[in-house]
Amino acid sequence: MVLRFPSLELVEKVYHTGPVEVPYVPGFLSFREAPNVLKAYEKLQQKPDIIMVDGHGIAHPRRMGIAAHIGVMLDMPSFGVAKQKLTGSFTEPDIAKGSINPLTDKSGDLLGEVIRSKDKVLPLFVSPGHRCDQATATRLTLACLRGYKLPEPTRLADHWAEEFKKELR
């Protein structure tokens, strides 16, 4: 799905269905999901300037989550917005929307930022993927919040995925 920024108006939506050939193994999501994501990307008539992925960028045990993987494969700027922590340490952000704390590894290196996207909800984990810095990933995530826990691109992608599934039944 491609959205116009900053209005978040839908520009284009596509989907791809195909076999999933790799079983789910924690930490290896991109090997399961990326092949079909890349095939959907090929169908886009209008390519995005940056890709927000529902998953991790460098905030990953191998510093190569699905957002980093897809960004490298497409040689496109990318970043991840994940719902759960895979690695690193953080202090819980304040309960107010917009509260941010660093996510760091054992040596104190920054892996990402932990963002409260809505008052009193569990935080999101935002990390750069490929050709994107942390400040840009955080700024874009915050700019894409529209009153829900998930940023609008992820929320809409979830919505349209359900609609596409209904079409296929």
Q: 132-149, pLDDT tens digit by residue?
A: 999 999 999 999 999 999
**Where do the domains of the chain lie?**
2-164
CB-based contact 59:128 (threshold 8 Å): no
Q: What is the pLDDT of residue 147?
A: 96
Which DSSP state fits 124? E
Tokens of 10: 């839908």
What is the b/e burial string over 131-161, where b = at least 16 CB atoms within 10 angstroms of the residue's CB? Answer: ebebeebbebbbebbeeebbbbbbbbbeeee
Per-residue pLDDT reduced to its tens digit, 9-36 = 999 999 999 999 999 998 999 999 999 9
What CATH number has the domain spanning 2-164? 3.30.2170.10
Per-residue pLDDT reduced to its tens digit, 62-114 = 999 999 999 999 999 999 999 999 999 999 999 999 999 999 999 999 999 99
Q: What is the pLDDT of residue 88?
A: 98
Percent of the chain with pLDDT over 90: 97
Residue 130 has pLDDT above 90, yes or no: yes
d(CA 79, CA 146): 19
Q: Which amino acid is at 29?
A: L
Cα-based angle 20, 23, 24 (whole degrees, multiple of 5): 110
Residue 127 has pLDDT above 90, yes or no: yes
Q: What is the pLDDT of residue 87?
A: 98
Residue 3 has pLDDT above 90, yes or no: yes
**Residue 100, strand partner residues:** 115
DSSP secondary structure string, 72-115?
Answer: HHHT--EEEEESS--S-B-PPPPSSTT-EEEEE-TT--EEEEEE
Q: In 3D, which of 105, 108, 109, 107 has the Cα closest to residue 86?
A: 105
Residue 169 has pLDDT above 90, yes or no: no
